[in-house]
């Protein structure tokens, strides 16, 4: 998906405007794919067109309040009909690819016996592709022009408050996540085909919802990656179930080697579907849904956070493989910090020991991920020593190096009570994705902003 038209302050824009900007990008993607498909430019053009149309439909469903006057019921039906018109070509193409892949392990006589099936799928794919090309040629251009004209403007009612897109997309993220989890939780069998299909569609909708705001929320890219894994697993299961029906239909009139080959192919399809299902259950079933929900909640918090609050802390955090030698030449302090008991609020006590003296701080934080509210005040040694015993069992000890890199300051934390090194950088805006300095890159494992395992309060012991 292109994000050329998606402005840096997308989350601060009115929801109606933001939704239209995203729809425009999806239309651009669909137009580019339709042009490639018409020219027979590449094998992925049809797939890309279908994905762009699905994203547009999903956007219209999710943002019904904000796009109703642009993508109304009539236009939504036109998009759906156009998407379905391209479906048969894609389905037969996918089945042909799977048959070719699975038959490689068959004996030569059985591979020969499957040639009529391969030829039939080829013919069906070509016929469906020609039909899809004709419909795209006659329908897409008109729909494209109509939607762009309707998306360009919208009415603003001056007496109604303007909704900022950040909280809107945050609420939608939570709602879509809840819907996905409610569909995944009851699944316990590969034979729950309808339930698996519904979960696959729900996963796609959440992924499509988040893709346009990927640069605007820490953790969004990681969550989208997990959703892509889920979509691939459920998609392969769906393909195998559809292929099994095709093979069963072909088997009814088959004899000899052809019948044996079709039976073996069906067994292989079932076994592959079972492996995918087992992986899906391991990674996205039962208790395994917890991390996915936590990731989604962290992204939702980052999306809804105020953009310009003076107490807003905007940081990205990275896991390092080791302490860069470069940092030993820079300013260093030793930090002992602990957390006071609490259910919802956990106050942090911190003692910072530097060559110039010792500082004592009390801090309250709210929010998770990239953007958080932080309120901090200095205290004295007496207050610190009085409260410090209450933090027993919830403490961390680390050495912090601070390295300037232009306008940014990287803080490298070397934990003294475990083998762990983290890097943090505070940013002027949530839109900024910093370029790690050269001295840091060889040690960089991955970004862990928003991951609960690397939040200090969870590391405390």
For residue 37, pLDDT over 90 is answered with: no
Q: Given pLDDT bands bounded at 50, 70 and 90, which one contains residue 444?
A: very high
Check residue 226 and give its pLDDT: 94
Q: Given pLDDT bands bounded at 50, 70 and 90, which one contains residue 120?
A: confident
Check residue 183 and give its pLDDT: 96
Are 152 and 23 a contacting pair, CB within 8 Å?
no
381-405 residue pLDDT tens: 999 999 999 999 999 999 999 998 8
Choose the weakest-confidence range: 25-29, 59-63, 113-117, 198-202.
113-117
Please state the rounded mean pLDDT for residues 100-124: 86
Helix ranges (H only) for 69-153 are: 73-85, 87-102, 108-113, 115-135, 141-151
Check residue 373 and give its pLDDT: 52
Q: Given pLDDT bands bounded at 50, 70 and 90, which one contains residue 306?
A: low
Please state the rounded mean pLDDT for residues 437-444: 94
Please state the rounded mean pLDDT for residues 260-285: 92
Residue 233: both structure tokens together: 């697993």
Residue 98: both structure tokens together: 């799977």
Strand-pair partners of 411 = 402, 424
Q: Which helix (H) or strand (E) holds 294?
A: helix 289-304
Please state, rounded to an integer, the average pLDDT across all residues of the chain: 87
Q: Which domains does the chain have, with CATH numbers?
A: 10-301 (1.40.20.10), 308-459 (2.40.320.10)
Q: CA angle 242-246-248, nearest 5°?
A: 115
Q: Given pLDDT bands bounded at 50, 70 and 90, which one contains residue 452?
A: confident
Are 83 and 53 a contacting pair, CB within 8 Å?
yes
22-35 residue pLDDT tens: 999 999 999 998 88
The three-state secondary structure class of 392 is coil
Other C-beta atoms within 10 Å of 72: how many?
Answer: 13
Tokens 């393909």 — which residue?
239
Provide the angle, in degrees to the nearest 10, between the axes of the packed helices 15-38 and 115-135: 120
Are 292 and 299 a contacting pair, CB within 8 Å?
no
Q: Given pLDDT bands bounded at 50, 70 and 90, which one contains residue 256?
A: confident
For residue 370, pLDDT over 50 is answered with: no
CA dihedral angle for residue 145, residue 147, residue 151, residue 154, rounded to 10 degrees: 110
Closest by Cα among 175, 218, 201, 185 to 315:
218
CA dihedral angle for residue 140, residue 143, residue 147, residue 148, rounded to 10 degrees: 60
Are 1 and 212 a contacting pair, CB within 8 Å?
yes
For residue 455, pLDDT over 50 is answered with: yes
Please state the rounded mean pLDDT for residues 323-340: 92
For residue 62, pLDDT over 90 is answered with: yes
Choose the weakest-confidence range: 214-223, 425-434, 435-444.
425-434
92 against 70, higher pLDDT: 70
Q: What are phi and psi of 227, to 5 degrees?
A: -65, -35
The three-state secondary structure class of 7 is coil
Provide CB contacts within 8 A for 345, sequence distance 6+: 364
Other C-beta atoms within 10 Å of 145: how many?
Answer: 12
Q: Given pLDDT bands bounded at 50, 70 and 90, which one contains residue 4?
A: very low
Check residue 158 and give its pLDDT: 61
Are 434 and 444 a contacting pair, CB within 8 Å?
no
For residue 13, pLDDT over 80 is answered with: yes
d(CA 263, CA 283): 30
Helix ranges (H only) for 252-380 are: 256-284, 289-304
Closest by Cα among 11, 118, 22, 108 to 63:
22
Check residue 310 and give its pLDDT: 46
144 against 41, higher pLDDT: 144
186-197 residue pLDDT tens: 999 999 999 999
d(CA 45, CA 67): 27
Specify the pairing of strand 421-426 against strand 357-366: unpaired
Q: What is the 3-state secondary structure (H, E, C) of 146-200?
A: HHHHHHCCCCCCCCCCCCEHHHHHHHHHHHHHHHHHHHHCCCCCCCCHHHHHHHH
| The total number of residues written for the chain in this structure | 461
Check residue 131 and give its pLDDT: 82
What is the percent of the chain where pLDDT is above 90?
A: 46
Check residue 284 and give its pLDDT: 94
Q: Given pLDDT bands bounded at 50, 70 and 90, which one contains residue 161?
A: confident
Strand-pair partners of 387 = none
């Amino acid at each position: 998906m292109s994000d050329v038209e998606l402005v840096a302050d997308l989350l601060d824009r009115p929801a109606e405007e933001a939704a239209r900007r995203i729809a425009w990008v999806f239309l651009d993607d669909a137009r580019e794919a339709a042009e490639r498909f018409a020219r027979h430019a590449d094998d992925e053009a049809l797939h890309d067109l279908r994905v762009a149309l699905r994203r547009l439909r999903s956007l219209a469903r999710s943002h019904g309040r904000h796009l109703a006057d642009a993508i109304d019921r009539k236009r939504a039906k036109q998009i759906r009909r156009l998407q379905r018109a391209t479906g048969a070509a894609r389905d037969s193409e996918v089945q042909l690819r799977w048959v070719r892949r699975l038959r490689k392990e068959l004996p030569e006589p059985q591979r020969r016996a499957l040639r009529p099936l391969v030829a039939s799928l080829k013919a069906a794919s070509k016929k469906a592709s020609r039909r899809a090309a004709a419909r795209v040629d006659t329908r897409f251009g008109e729909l494209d022009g109509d939607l762009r004209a309707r998306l360009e403007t919208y009415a603003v009612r001056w007496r109604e408050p303007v909704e900022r897109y950040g909280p809107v997309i945050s609420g939608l993220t939570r709602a879509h996540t809840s819907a996905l989890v409610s569909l995944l939780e009851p699944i316990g069998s590969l034979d729950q085909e309808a339930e698996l299909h519904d979960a696959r569609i729900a996963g796609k909708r959440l992924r499509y919802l988040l893709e346009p705001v990927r640069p605007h929320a820490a953790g969004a890219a990681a969550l989208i990656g997990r959703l892509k894994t889920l979509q691939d697993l459920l998609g392969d299961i769906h393909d195998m179930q559809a292929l099994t029906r095709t093979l069963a239909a072909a088997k009814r009139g088959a004899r000899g080697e052809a019948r044996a080959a079709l039976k073996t192919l069906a067994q292989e399809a079932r076994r592959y579907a079972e492996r995918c299902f087992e992986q899906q259950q391991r990674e996205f079933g039962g208790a395994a849904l917890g991390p996915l929900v936590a990731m989604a909640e962290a992204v939702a918090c980052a999306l809804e956070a105020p953009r310009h609050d003076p107490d807003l802390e905007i940081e990205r955090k990275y896991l390092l493989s080791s302490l860069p030698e470069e940092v030993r030449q820079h300013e260093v302090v030793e930090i002992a910090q602990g957390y006071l008991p609490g259910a919802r609020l956990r106050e942090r006590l911190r003692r910072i020991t530097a060559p110039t003296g010792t500082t004592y701080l009390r801090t309250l934080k709210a929010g998770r991920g990239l953007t958080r509210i932080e309120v901090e005040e200095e205290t004295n040694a007496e207050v610190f020593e009085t409260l410090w015993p209450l933090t027993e069992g919830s403490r961390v000890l680390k050495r912090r190096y601070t390295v300037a890199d232009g306008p940014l300051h990287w803080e490298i934390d070397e934990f003294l009570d475990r083998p762990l090194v983290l890097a943090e950088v505070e940013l002027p805006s949530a839109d900024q994705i910093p370029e790690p300095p050269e001295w840091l890159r060889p040690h960089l494992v991955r970004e862990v902003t928003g991951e609960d395992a690397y939040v200090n309060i969870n590391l405390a012991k």
